[in-house]
Amino acid sequence: MAVPHRDNTNLAYDLSRFDSTAREQRERERAEEEKQRRQIRIAPHSVSKTGSVFKIFSVTVVLFAALCAVNWSSTAKDDMARKVTQQQALLESAQDDNALLQSKLDSKVNISYIEQYATENLGMEKVASAQKKYISVNTEDLIEVDEDASEGFFGSIKKWFSDTLEFLGF
């Protein structure tokens, strides 16, 4: 390291170079100068000013509200997903029960089961061909009209009153 030459002295040798305390002080000064050179300096007019307490509080409240909203929506989604899962399980159970009941119904509606039930429980027998008799009925197709229906509202009241008297025995 080169020591700067001082022109204001007329001594042939600078004895302060050999003095340890002076040397340590010079090294500290050099270290501080180096530190200051490395340090980033910010102009006073460009330093950002900190916000007011109200602004900081407002931003904090808004961030907290946003966090709560996200938490609430996540909880709502989880609840709905759980309900959907429960309903799907109920649907699957109901479909299994339906298939079981449908198979039981199919087995009970079977003709052979009905014939077996009729013979064993009701004591019925199957009809033999000798027991069948066919008859023919010769009647005309008739249409009968109820005269009471054509009388209307007052006719129905009159009919009800007459039926009540007849029931009472008058």
Domain of residue 75, residue span: 15-39+51-109
Whether residue 96 is contained in a domain is answered as yes
Whether residue 135 is contained in a domain is answered as no
Whether residue 130 is contained in a domain is answered as no
Whether residue 5 is contained in a domain is answered as no
Q: How far apart are the first and last CA of the chain?
A: 146
- For 39-83, write each residue's pLDDT tens digit: 776 666 655 566 688 888 999 999 999 999 999 999 999 999 999
CA distances from 66 to 48, 69, 73 (A): 27, 5, 11
Whether residue 164 is contained in a domain is answered as no
Whether residue 29 is contained in a domain is answered as yes
Whether residue 151 is contained in a domain is answered as no
Number of domains the chain contains: 1
Predicted TM-score (pTM) above 0.85? no
Q: Which amino acid does the sequence have at 118?
A: A
Q: For position 99, what pLDDT does the model report?
A: 93
pLDDT (tens place) for every residue of the chain, 170 residues total? 455 555 555 556 666 666 778 778 888 999 998 888 887 766 666 555 666 888 889 999 999 999 999 999 999 999 999 999 999 999 999 999 999 999 888 887 888 888 888 889 998 888 777 777 777 777 766 666 555 555 677 878 888 888 898 888 87
State the alpha helices, DSSP H only, in the chain. 20-38, 53-109, 111-120, 153-168
Whether residue 33 is contained in a domain is answered as yes
